[in-house]
């Protein structure tokens, strides 16, 4: 089975840094994805980790520790447009490209 | 432009009236999938397909059917919709092979069943 946990809501200030955590327990692991989803819109890809460590992409970074079943998404220099839900998803090892999603973290950026 | 399209985008229907939501991708992807998204439950997989004529159940397949007769199309069929199928539906596609290839999502279909 799959169990993926994220905080439900977070609030941060424009210009600040925020870290969104994700813990997972899965029967198989073949990569972890982070997506951004604005209200009523489709999820869009942010980052991918399959090995331990930090992946950096501009203002966004994602970290993975496979031994701890833990990942985080780090957003720097927050902008108002970063207000959105952030979805953590784990890919299983069945051979298909199936993703299992957490319930998402709704981030509100305040001035 | 590489994209996944869904139709209709919004639909209000009544219990028991069969409906089909279409999904099409122009990226020649082998893998396609349907999700539903409900408040507090996140994205849950309904059905997926690894290639033409190959489909399998996801986590919440009850009340849904799919078909994959062509590589680009993956329609979702609700034979007898019920109010608990009111939801936001997303279709997604990706290359079949595992790797850092992400899934590309369609714009979503908001369904209300009365």
pLDDT, tens digit, 9 for 90 and up, residues A40-72: 899 999 999 999 999 998 999 999 999 999 999
The CA distances from residue B109 to A24, A76, B19, B47, B75, in Å, are: 29, 32, 12, 16, 12
> Considering only A15-29, A30-44, B54-68, B98-112, which range has the smallest mean pLDDT?
B98-112
Say yes or no: A51 contacts chain B, CB-CB below 8 A: no
CA distances in angstroms from B24 to A24, A78, B31, B43, B92, listed in the order given = 32, 35, 12, 20, 9
A3 has a chain B CB within 8 A of its CB: no
- Residue B97 pLDDT grade (very low, low, confident, very high; cuts 50, 70, 90): low
Query: Hey, is the C-beta of A27 within 8 angstroms of any chain B C-beta?
Result: no
pLDDT < 50 stretches in chain A: none
Q: How far is CA B67 from CA A69, A84, B76, B100, in A?
A: 35, 33, 7, 27
Distance from CA of A78 to the nearest CA of B (A): 24
pLDDT band at B16 (very low <50, low <70, confident <90, very high): very high
Of the candidates A45, A50, A96, which has its C-beta nearest B48's C-beta?
A96
DSSP state of B101: P
């Amino acid at each position: 089975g799959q169990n993926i946990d994220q905080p439900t809501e977070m609030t941060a200030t424009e210009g600040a840094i925020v870290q969104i955590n994700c813990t997972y327990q899965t029967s198989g692991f073949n990569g972890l994805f982070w997506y951004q989803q604005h209200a009523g819109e489709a999820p869009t890809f942010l980052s991918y980790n399959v090995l331990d460590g930090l992946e950096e992409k501009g203002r966004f970074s994602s970290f993975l520790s496979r031994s701890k079943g833990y990942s985080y998404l780090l957003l720097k220099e927050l902008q108002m447009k970063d207000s959105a839900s952030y979805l953590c998803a784990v890919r299983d090892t069945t051979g298909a490209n199936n993703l299992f999603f957490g319930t998402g973290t709704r981030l509100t950026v305040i001035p | 432009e590489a994209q996944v399209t869904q139709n209709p985008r919004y639909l209000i229907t009544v219990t028991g009236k069969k409906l089909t939501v279409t999904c099409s991708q122009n990226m020649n992807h082998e893998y396609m999938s349907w999700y539903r998204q409900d408040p507090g439950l996140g994205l849950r997989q309904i059905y997926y397909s690894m290639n033409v004529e190959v489909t399998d159940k996801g986590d919440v397949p009850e009340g849904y059917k799919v078909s994959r007769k062509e590589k680009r199309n993956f329609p979702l069929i609700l034979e007898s919709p019920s109010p608990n199928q009111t939801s936001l539906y997303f279709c997604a596609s990706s290359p079949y092979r595992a790797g850092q290839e992400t899934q590309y999502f369609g714009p979503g279909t908001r369904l209300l069943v009365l």
